[in-house]
A and B are shown apart, each in its own frame.
Chain A
Amino acid sequence: MTTTIRSNPGFLRRSLFGEPGSARWRYRKSPLGLLAAGVIALFSLGALLAPWLTPYADQGRGTPDLPSRLQGPSTSHWLGTDDLGRDVLARLLFGARTALIVAIGVVVIAVVVGVLVGAIAGYFGRWVDEVLMRITDTFLAFPPLLLAVIVAAALGANLRNTIIAIAVSWWPWYARQVRSQVLSLRERPFVQAVQAIGVPDHQIIVRHVIPNAMAPVWVQATADLGAAVLTAAGLSFVGLGPRPPTADWGVMIADGRQLVLSGQWWVAGFAGIAITLTALAFNLMGDVIRDVTDPKANGRA
């Protein structure tokens, strides 16, 4: 093995940064992209290791500590405490779990539904396409945030319903994207070949069509993780988010709103910073990925 590396000086660098010219290679060369990836890694670690990162894990889960309510940042409570005396840092760490669950949940559901609808519409064409796309267009006609609001309001406020509500307003975007991919895939020789030997349609869709239509979906999905965090925070802010005592950044801002104006800025302040940084990192990552995977932008990014 050592000889391989020695005789091939670029080996280590290439395996770390991807082949020169590849999308991964270009991503690694973007300082903003690396920064975003770092923030996301920190955020994910914080969410996963929340119970071990803070001495106030119980408070993070919601147990109040009324005697120490509304203390400013100090050495014992780095980011202060909220109106129930809970450590803000602990709440933020546990809130990161909520945000992560919502973001991943929304994107996974929306991608699965969208990809299926888009693939079926594009593959079968004709009236199937016509019907499915009319439905898709109708969902697209809603401002996404509003559709999420009414669905969340109708289903009742809790974490699961927040995820469903946002996913309901997002799947059509993936459906449209996948459909246009599938329309061109359908004409490609490898699809026509498996059709000719009589492979059933559902197998062709799942094994041959969908895997080849996913590249742009992944790019879009990454970028959408940030928007999911923001949308979920918005729903929480107007009372359509997870119920107490679940830790949630949007709820923290809603609860801390009045406190801000009376001088206790730290609850809403830090929660807002957490949302902004997370959304920023995801959006930046999506932006850079879109740039480096866009063939037209080659040599420019």
Chain B
Amino acid sequence: MRYLLRRLLTSLGVVLGVVTITFVVARLVPSDPAALYAGPRARPAQVEQVRQDLNLDASIPAQYVSYLGDLFTGDLGISFANRRPIAEDLLNFLPATLELALLATGLSMAIGIPLGVWAAARQDRRRDNGIRLVAVTSVSVPVFWSALILQLFFANRLGLLPLSGRTSSDVEFAERTGFFLIDSVLSGSPSNVGDVLTHLVMPVIVMAAYPLGLTIRLIRGSMLEVLGEPFIEAARLGGVPERTVLFRLALKNALAPALTILGLTFAYSVSSAFLVEAVFNWPGIGRYLTDAIIRVDFPVITAATLVITVIYVLVNLLLDLLQARLDPRVELE
């Protein structure tokens, strides 16, 4: 439990640091937030009123304290653009992004792990170079461009997949979880599920590309290290079939360090969401963020960043604990 507690405390410290950095960055904005909030046609008196309402006339430390207090109660502030509480909007948009990011991470692991193992398995230079090229290419294509190309071919030219959005306009079902894949299954109509799935295909593939490259490289690297260990040689000598050696004996060793990177892949998925969602008009926090960037809606920009970063910190915490479980040498107690 000591390990768990220490890990929780450091995570809390990191979150506090993250909050501080976003607060500082928010103060860097050259324009006057009160004027921005009041709008371009506001009279000076109105701007002053807004300044008082938003507590912007207080000293910076006082603002920091009240900002922390607000965060603690779950208040992420008010959007300049639509005057709505940001926390509510984020909560509405979050499932759409998580659905994408989880599926993309899953897809990249499902393809990346076997490819990484395969690349490390034998010192076949041509195959190794081929897989290396796949890995490096998938981290080199800008997501917003590959998204566009897929749209051009599969939606625009071939008409096989819907261009954008989460569902077709004529499809409706109850939103219980916000994860449309689950909601559509709950609705009991196969056509709903199909509609949701076809909308997911392109964004998930595009989002999975970068994590795929990371996963391949990582698994290959840590597999190469593990495959050089005497215990692998001993298992091969002992007549254990090569498949078992690779995918069971070696992979479990190679996965433990790779888990940390799973956190990275998930982070990349979530943070590249704003690029992918912009292209596919996907109503997640990524698009919420891009819209805010265009409107210089700073409270939304900081709040969205904060929420995504906190998710990232939590995912890393979880993976650390999972890693401790995978590796019997790390004692949780």
A, B in one complex: yes
A residues touching B (Cβ–Cβ < 8 Å)? 31-32, 134-135, 137-139, 141-147, 149-151, 153-156, 226, 230, 233-234, 237-240, 250, 253-254, 257, 260-261, 265, 268-269, 271-272, 275-276, 279-280, 283-284, 287, 296-297, 300
Could you list 17 A-B pairs, sorted by A, with CB under 8 Å?
A138-B18, A143-B268, A143-B308, A149-B305, A154-B298, A230-B140, A234-B144, A237-B275, A268-B145, A269-B149, A272-B142, A276-B137, A276-B145, A279-B140, A280-B136, A296-B224, A297-B224
Cα distance A261–B279 when bound, in Å? 12
In this complex, the interface size class of chain B, counting residues with CB under 8 Å from chain A, is 35 or more
Judged by a CB distance under 8 angstroms, whether B132 is at the interface is yes
Cross-interface CB contact of B293 among A238, A276, A296, cutoff 8 Å: A238
- Whether the Cβ atoms of B305 and A145 lie closer than 8 Å is no
Hey, which chain A residues are within 8 Å of B17, CB to CB? 134-135, 137-138, 141
Residue of A nearest to B312 (CB): A143
B29 contacts the other chain (CB 8 A): yes
Residue B270 interfacial (CB < 8 Å): yes
Which B residues lie within 8 Å of A297 (CB)?
224
Known contacts A154-B298, A234-B275, A238-B293: A300-B123 contact under CB 8 Å: yes
- Which parts of B1-20 form the interface with A (CB within 8 Å)? 13-15, 17-18, 20
Residue-wise, chain B 11-42 has the 8 Å CB interface mask toward A (1 for contact) of 00111011011100110111000000000000
Contact B148 A238 (CB under 8 A): no
Residues facing A in B115-143 (CB within 8 A) are 123, 129, 132-133, 136-137, 139-143
B13, B25, B301 pick with most chain A CB within 10 angstroms: B25
Which B residues contact A (CB, under 8 angstroms)? 13-15, 17-18, 20-22, 25-26, 28-30, 123, 129, 132-133, 136-137, 139-146, 148-149, 151-152, 156, 163, 217, 224-225, 228, 267-268, 270-272, 274-275, 278-279, 289-290, 293-294, 296, 298, 301-302, 305, 308-309, 312-313
Selected contact of A153 from candidates B136, B143, B293, B313, CB within 8 Å: B293
**Given known A153-B296, A265-B152, A297-B224, contact A283–B267 (CB-CB < 8 A):** no
Chain A residues within an 8 Å CB radius of B267? 143
A66–B179 Cα gap in the complex (Å)? 47
Q: A141 and B271: CB pair below 8 A?
A: no
Q: Which residues of B contact A144 (CB under 8 A)?
A: 271
Interface pair A141/B312, CB less than 8 Å apart: yes
B212 shortest CB reach to chain A, Å: 14
Chain B: minimal CB distance from A272 (Å):
4
Chain A contact residues: helix, strand, loop or mixed: helix
Cα(A261)–Cα(B163), bound, Å: 10
**Are A149 and B144 neighbours in the complex by a CB distance under 8 Å?**
no
A180 CB, min distance to chain B CBs, angstroms: 16
**Which residues does chain B contribute within 8 Å of A272, judged by CB atoms?**
141-142, 145-146, 148-149
Known interface pairs A134-B17, A230-B140, A253-B148; 16 further A-B residue pairs with C-beta atoms within 8 A, sorted by A's residue number: A142-B21, A143-B309, A144-B271, A146-B271, A153-B298, A153-B301, A155-B28, A234-B275, A237-B278, A238-B293, A253-B145, A260-B151, A260-B156, A261-B151, A261-B156, A280-B140
* Cα separation A100 to B302 with both chains bound (whole Å): 29
Bound Cα distance A138, B271 (Å): 17
Expressed in whole angstroms, the Cα–Cα distance for A276 and B136 within the complex equals 10
**In the complex, A167 Cα to B39 Cα: how many Å?**
33
User: What residues of B have a CB within 8 angstroms of the CB of A156 in the complex?
Assistant: 30
A276: chain B residues at CB < 8 Å are: 137, 140-142, 145
